[in-house]
Every structure is written in C-alpha cells, then in structure tokens.
Chains A and B, each alone.
Chain A
Amino acid sequence: MKDIEQYLRQNKPETPDEGQFIIETNARLSSVEGIKDTVDAERYRGRLMLVIALVAGLVIGCLLTLFVMFFPVPSAETELSAFSKAIVSLKKWETLLLVPVAACAVALGILLMNRKKEVL
C-alpha cells in the first residue's frame, strides 16, 4: 500500500499556469452579471418577506393575546368543551412539554445551519 501511495504522491501533476484562464473567467463572469443581480435581488426579497412574516406574526399574536386578556369570556357563561379541557390540562404540564419542543427547535436550527454550510 505504501508503494502505491508513494507513487501517487511522487507523480502528482503540476498545476497548470494561469495563462488566459483568469481573463476568460472574467469575460464569462461579465456575461452572467445580470443573472447574479437577479438571483441576489430574489434572495434579498425572500429574506425581507421572512422578516415581515415574523414581525406580522408577533404583532398579530400580541394583539390577539391582549384582546383575550382584556375581553375574557365569563366562565359562568360557557361550559368547557373537550378541547378546552385538554388545553387546561396541558397548561399544567406546559414546562415539561416546552423543554423537549425547545430542544427540538435548537437541534433543528443547528442541523439547518450545518446543512447550509455544506453548499448549494
């Protein structure tokens, strides 16, 4: 095994000279400048939409929470439905339930970050 490894390392081809390569590359890059601008603009628009959606979600969520807090439905007027009962019982265990959810979110975030680094 050492022989073949030594052979491969000893007979490594030399790197070709730069020559006209960079000049030709520059010319090709000039021809796709417009495409790159479009791709960059689309990516920027996508990020902007994401931020807008996040802010809108937060604002609407806050407004709804405030509405519910300021205009509570009197408990005497309503009888708890099965769904509401489930929500109430979930409320008791919210901390325990939120920990695995948060852990999953963090793990997913790390996975996505690593995947992004991997390339295109």
Chain B
Amino acid sequence: MTRERFISEVRACQGQLRRFLASLCGDTALADDIAQEALVRAYVASGRFIGNFKAWLFRIAYNCFIDNLRRVRQPAADLDAPEALHVAGGEESDASFKHEELQRALVRIPEKERTAIVLHYFEDLPVKEIATVMGIPSGTVKYYLSVGRDHLKQYIRL
C-alpha cells in the first residue's frame, strides 16, 4: 500500500478511531498518542494488509491500547481531575452532562465490556466485526455486550 493511499484511508476513519480510543481510555490526549502509535504500526505492516482496512486498523489500535494499559498499569482516568476527558458531545449543557456521565460510567466497567459497548453503540460495528477487532468469538462479544449493558445501568440514571 502506498503512503498516499494509506493516508487517504486514514483520513476517512481517523475520527472514528480517535473517538473509539478516547472512549476506551477516557483521555483524548492519550487516545491521540495511542492512535498515532497504531497508525505507525499499521503503516509499517501495510504490505501485509488484506481485507477491511477499518477493522484491521481498529484491531491494531485495540492492541496498542492493551499494550499501553499493561505498560502503564494505572487505574481508569480520574474524571474529577480538571484535565479529564472532554470529547465533544452533541448539544451543550444537558447533553454535555449526559455525555460526561456516560464517559464516567464507561471507564468504570471492565475494559473488554467497554470495548464491545463502544464498538457496537458508538462505531456501529456488527458483532462479527467486533469479534475480529477484539480477537474473540462472536458469542463472547454478545456476552460482553449484555454484561456491559447491565454494568452501565448501575452507573447511569436513565
């Protein structure tokens, strides 16, 4: 894959990639760092790429996120801190509050459940594609989605 083609493919899905990572780690700056690292890894390996670029890139990004998690070994981001996540929400005020509440809830649930939830509800990926990204069977993804929803209900006022 040429660099121009790689960049044009990245341009098409960079927003979703960064939103996915921001939702996973709860910190947009860290998410961008992980996204850059994933893109570098993807570019070096792009000669081997076959198939769905977005799913492939998301899988690399997810692996980078896991690597980062193991390296840092920190608890989830402290959302009370002033530099805590500010991913742009839809409408202002109420919508913004709801968005922050959702983000706060997301970082409290286990990482695998969070990943499945974010990929399914934010990135609209089907279960089969989520299974490819996470490297687990489809049945396990469905389980994580179900348990993740139950866990989220405990932290969100519907």
Contact = CB atoms under 8 A, between A and B. Distances in A.
Interface of A: 1, 3-5, 7-9, 11-18, 21-22, 24-26, 28-29, 32-33, 35-36, 39-40, 43, 116-120
Contacts of A9: 121
B77 to A, nearest CB: 15
A82 to B, nearest CB: 48
B48 interface: yes
B22 interface: yes
Contact of A14 (B41, B47, B88, B103): B88
A54 B117 CA distance: 47
Nearest to B35: A21
Given A21-B14, A28-B36, A43 B47 contact: yes
Contact of A16 (B7, B15, B36): B15
A33 to B, nearest CB: 8
19 contacts: A5-B149, A8-B117, A8-B121, A12-B121, A12-B122, A13-B19, A13-B88, A13-B122, A16-B19, A16-B22, A21-B14, A21-B35, A25-B10, A29-B43, A32-B43, A36-B46, A43-B48, A117-B50, A120-B41
Contacts of A26: 7
- State the main secondary structure of chain A at its contact with B: helix
Given A5-B121, A12-B122, A117 B51 contact: yes
Interface residues of B, number: 49
B45 interface: yes
Given A13-B88, A28-B39, A29-B39, 5 more contacts: A5-B149, A8-B117, A13-B89, A22-B11, A120-B48
A43 to B, nearest CB: 6
A21 B89 contact: no
Interface string B19-30: 100110000100
Contacts of B11: 18, 22
